[in-house]
């Protein structure tokens, strides 16, 4: 996690096992979880996703577990 400068989202650095787009699409297609690839926010290199902190705690917990599991697994759906 990067240092916080405010806002309602968090930036996660994920293993660079595949592109941010691929990870984001896998999460959306397979897990119904929406994240934004880091390049949407002009990060200079790959391996970041941005997630909202606004969902209800139970929804956020389920989603973040899926994000972390899929990001570290490196397997495609």
* pLDDT above 90: residue 76: no
| Domain residue spans of the chain | 9-73
19-38 tens-digit pLDDT: 999 999 999 999 999 999 99
Q: pLDDT value at position 44? A: 87
Q: pLDDT value at position 3? A: 73
Chain length of the chain: 77
Report the predicted TM-score, pTM, of the whole model to 2 decimal places: 0.82
5 band by pLDDT with thresholds 50, 70 and 90: low
Residues 38-63, mean pLDDT to the nearest whole number: 93
Q: Are the beta carbons of 38 and 27 closer than 8 angstroms?
A: no
């Amino acid at each position: 996690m990067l240092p916080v400068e405010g806002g309602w989202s968090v930036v996660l650095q994920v293993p660079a096992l595949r592109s941010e787009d691929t990870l984001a699409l896998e999460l959306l297609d397979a897990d119904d979880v929406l994240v934004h690839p880091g390049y949407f926010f002009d990060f200079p290199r790959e391996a970041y996703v941005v997630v909202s902190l606004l969902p209800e705690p139970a929804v956020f917990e389920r989603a973040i577990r899926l994000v972390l599991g899929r990001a570290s697994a490196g397997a495609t759906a």
